[in-house]
Amino acid sequence: MKLLEYVNLEVVQSLKGKDLLTWFDYSSIEVKQLLGLATNLKSLAKSNVHPPLLAGKTVGLIFEKHSTRTRISFEVGINQLGGHAMYMHARDLQIGRGEPISDTGKVLSGYMDGIMIRAHSHKMVEELADAANIPVINGLTDLYHPCQALADVLTIHEVKGYLPGLKLAYVGDGNNVANSLLIACAHLGIEVSIATPKGFEIDENILTKVQKLAVSNGTNIMTTNDPIVAVKDADIIYTDVWTSMGQEEETAARLQAFKGYQINEDLVMHAKSDYLFLHCLPAHREEEVATSIIDGPNSAVFEQAENRLHAQKAILASILS
């Protein structure tokens, strides 16, 4: 049986009311079931069928950081499921004038059915979730980007047809995207080889936890400073921007540190010929990735971006409906 051929509704329904701050808080079977639900919801959407699983529900979307894919995919997903999305930029709320996030969480709990927040600090999101009595979804923090990772593995499964035993090479910054991708892969039996420059490695505490999770699922996480070592025989190659939002003052130093880490024609020669290229977007062409790669036949970055919608619908439907 392939991984996503079934959905156990009891497992999915057991997630009702649960926060999503990091995939460390979910079991491997729960992650697999969410992938199955995302696959089913995508199939229905392609037939223009949108089950009203969020009918009568209002979800608040709080943003401290700019967004294209996160904002639009959440708004569209909530609307397709019959709910109402309310966009709120932090500067327009009282948290922009110093109100504690815990107070905001308590207030919004009386108005809404769930909150998605895209924030600078993961600690802030944890404080919001602790105070709120409605589910909180992490739309991105400095440490994690779980919604992106679910869309990533959904894309990999669609292209490759299976997940356990695949090798994914991540080349670039050991950032929030990398952290969540590693956890998702560890849950699903995907081997990961991650190459980062010295000083930009995965957080040691996160790496220790994810390596333990990977071993429990029969796979492993390898770290290196050599992109060629990471990419050798890879089924999937993944990268992200070298300078994320809020790091603009570090741009020059990062460009110097990441020399040799670009995904280009020379580097991908070390991967399998049918490698899949992924990038969470937005991309800086000719910086972390050559244009010939991101626009080439092995790239699925726009399918990956679309899958943010379907992965998030699965999350929303399971914890709110």
Binding residues: 67-70, 94, 118, 145-148, 176, 240, 244-245, 280-281, 308
Instruction: Return the percent helix, strand and coil in the chain, to nearest 5.
Output: 45, 15, 40
Taking the C-alpha atoms of residue 54 and residue 47, their distance in angstroms, rounded to an integer, is 19
Those residues whose C-beta lies under 8 Å from the C-beta of residue 91, and which sit 6 or more positions away, are none
Annotation says 71 is catalytic: no
Binding residues for L-ornithine: 176, 240, 244-245
Annotation says 122 is catalytic: no
Taking the C-alpha atoms of residue 110 and residue 72, their distance in angstroms, rounded to an integer, is 25
Report CA-CA distances (Å) from 251 to 120, 174, 194, 226.
18, 16, 22, 21
What SS3 string covers 71-125?
A: HHHHHHHHHHCCCEEEEEEHHHCHHHHCCCHHHHHHHHHCCCCEEEEECCCHHHH
Q: Name the catalytic one among 148, 211, 262, 304.
A: 148
Q: Name the catalytic one among 145, 187, 279, 310.
A: 145
Taking the C-alpha atoms of residue 168 and residue 176, their distance in angstroms, rounded to an integer, is 17
* No. of helices (H) and no. of strands (E), the chain: 13, 9
Binding residues for carbamoyl phosphate: 67-70, 94, 118, 145-148, 280-281, 308
Annotation says 280 is catalytic: yes
Those residues whose C-beta lies under 8 Å from the C-beta of residue 19, and which sit 6 or more positions away, are 25, 129, 135, 136, 137, 319
Q: Name the catalytic one among 240, 254, 262, 304.
A: 240
Annotation says 19 is catalytic: no
When computed from its CA atoms, the radius of gyration of the chain, rounded to whole angstroms, is 19
Residue carrying the six token digits 């356990």:
164
Annotation says 185 is catalytic: no
Q: Name the catalytic one among 157, 187, 308, 310.
A: 308
H/E run at residue 38 = helix 28-46
Q: Which of 53, 105, 76, 62 is nearest to 321 (CA)?
A: 53
Angle, CA 14 vertex, CA 10 and CA 16 arms, to 5°: 130
Taking the C-alpha atoms of residue 17 and residue 25, their distance in angstroms, rounded to an integer, is 13
Q: Name the catalytic one among 118, 122, 254, 310.
A: 118
Annotation says 91 is catalytic: no
Taking the C-alpha atoms of residue 153 and residue 49, their distance in angstroms, rounded to an integer, is 23
Residues assigned a catalytic role: 118, 145, 148, 240, 280, 308
